[in-house]
Amino acid sequence: MIISLAQINPTVGAITANADKIAAVFRSVASSGCELVIFPELSLTGYPPKDILERPWVINNVLGAIARLEKESAGHPECGLLVGAPIPTGMSSGKGLYNSALLIYQGKTVFTQAKTLLPNYDVFDETRYFDQNRCYDNFNFRGTSLGITICEDAWFHSAGLFNKKIYDVDPVQLAAMKADLLINIASSPFTSGKEKVRFQLFSEHAARHRVPFIYVNQVGGNDELIFDGGSMFIDSAGKSRLQLPCFEESIQRLDTDNPGTVKEQEPQEQIKSVHDALVLGVKDYFSKTGFKKAVLGLSGGIDSALVCCLAVEALSAENVLGITMPSQYSSAGSIEDSRKLALNLGIEFKIIPIKAVFDKNLEILTPHFRNMQPDLTEENLQARIRGNFLMAFSNKFNSILLSTGNKSEMAVGYCTLYGDMNGGLAVIADVPKTMIYRIAEYLNRGREIIPKATIEKAPSAELRPNQTDQDTLPPYPVLDAILHHYIEENLSYQEIVGKGFAPDTVAWVIKAIEKNEYKRRQAPLCLKVTSKSFGAGRRFPIAAVNEYK
């Protein structure tokens, strides 16, 4: 069968625009002899649609879009169209919707398969909106028995992703019993290393059941989630025959009877994939919210330099403004490094000193702080002055302020609420500090973009004389390792200490994480690139006791 894999980038809620894109792709491939074109999960609504599914008119618009696609298919009766959409269950109980795959052919929907496994962990919340499929069947399409599953349905055998069995039924096994071809339509978000896990899982499915496997994944950024695409065709021996690119839309044609030579599965190198994901996340967040311009503070440090580089790649240099705001504690080198970065990138650059404003604030506050020594209050005051200035530029020039804090800082609260945490998007808040350096090296692989001095200097907030991050924090390699064990692996205090870390250091890190949940709850949206990011996928109470020992 001649099949087109349509790895598209839908916008959540833009049902008309998504249907336009789907129809245009369908017409194009149908006119070139394609027999079936496959689109991702919930491609009519975009994924995840969240609570917009609770609006009755949204479902009415979906049904209208399906009717339109049915009409389109009547004009190309030789080609079928497999598309994901939310469909009413018709039942009086339950949520009332299925997450469905619809096969549209010759002017009508000839087959519907609802999703069986509804993920309800990490960033997923599908049981909030959908009912679980309770029956399963294959469909004979043009002489080929199709076994159709939807995203999570293929993750029953989790290739080590889960520590325990979380489902009681394996939809792929049910589908494979009578199938000539297995198809999985998906909206599977990116996390570092997931590409390799996916291929291993789908390859095992194909080889176990001796049935070829097609996977079509959404691409693009929707809020904090980034979808990497990576759609593929795997033959009945579990070998890769077709791989679509990551992080870009792609429509590729496949002849299942003559799929070509075996291709070694080549996952992207980790740092390149994280870099590409962040660029796509920024690009789509701006385009899908209607913004074009970004503003950010440039401190001369590596975090703001990296965010600036990513913003330029995503938005182009003319749409990025960098502002450095030196105080009496800022080094001349930091100002010069910021200037050099801006010159290397070709962005607009401003210097706005804050010493006079800071001094005036101290003058006003000193009578109220009489006989009290300077402390974090005065340090944070500088960060909040900078945050106010940056938000003023955001408001005045209709720009999104990009927050530049990294995951290591966010985890332990080494950031100032209403100061450097200000912003509309936290670009690297899921990137550990040690990975920040690796991405910077990747960016500088061809020429020096981020100044060498920025990379080599000791990290510092420069809020007091001779300050460095390591005055307050454990060394970043130690901190990041403990954070990974505690946040992403859910290891206990005792287990982390058992790996050789100093008990006092582990205790300090855990206490800092728990104490600063209130800050993270007020942080900007964070682009997710690790298996457990701060935000929607990590829900911890603020007013709670953590008995970690």
Per-residue pLDDT tens digits of the chain, which is 549 residues long: 999 999 999 999 999 999 999 999 999 999 999 999 999 999 999 999 999 999 999 999 999 999 999 999 999 999 999 999 999 999 989 999 999 999 999 999 999 999 999 999 999 999 999 999 988 899 999 999 999 999 999 998 654 555 667 788 899 999 999 999 999 999 999 999 999 999 999 999 999 999 999 999 999 999 999 999 999 999 999 999 999 999 999 999 999 999 888 888 888 899 999 999 999 999 999 999 999 999 999 999 999 999 999 999 999 999 999 999 999 888 888 899 999 999 999 999 999 999 999 999 999 999 999 999 999 999 999 999 999 999 999 999 999 999 999 999 999 999 999 999 999 999 999 999 999 999 999 999 999 999 999 999 877 766 777 777 777 899 999 999 999 999 999 999 999 999 999 999 999 999 999 999 999 999 999 999 999 999 989 999 999 888 887
In whole angstroms, what is the distance from residue 54 CA to residue 58 CA?
8
**Residues 36, 26: Cα–Cα separation, whole Å:** 9
pLDDT of residue 264: 83
The per-residue pLDDT for 309 is 98
Residue among 21, 34, 35, 41 flagged as catalytic: 41
Evaluate the omega torsion of the peptide bond into residue 48 and state whether it is cis, within 30 degrees of 0.
yes
pLDDT for position 329: 87
- Using left for φ > 0, alpha for ψ between -120 and 50, and beta otherwise, residue 462 falls in left
pLDDT score for 161:
55
pLDDT of residue 158: 59
Of the residues 34, 151, 309, 526, only one is catalytic, namely 151
151 is catalytic: yes
Answer for the pair 266, 47: CB distance below 8 angstroms, yes or no.
no
Q: Of 260, 269, 192, nearest to 232 (Cα)?
A: 260
Q: Return the HEC string of 281-309.
A: HHHHHHHHHCCCEEEEECCCCHHHHHHHH
Q: Can you give the three-state secondary structure of 328-386, one letter per residue? A: CCCCHHHHHHHHHHHHHHCCEEEECCCHHHHHHHHHHHHHHHCCCCCCHHHHHHHHHHH
Alpha carbons 389 and 322: distance in angstroms, whole number: 12
pLDDT of residue 21: 98
378 is catalytic: no
Helix (H, G, I), strand (E, B) or coil at 387: helix
Between helix 332-345 and helix 302-315 the angle, nearest 10°, is: 20
Alpha helices in 75-214 (DSSP H): 171-176, 194-209
34 part of the active site: no
115, 293, 407, 528: which is the annotated catalytic residue? 115
Beta bridge partners of 322: 296, 349
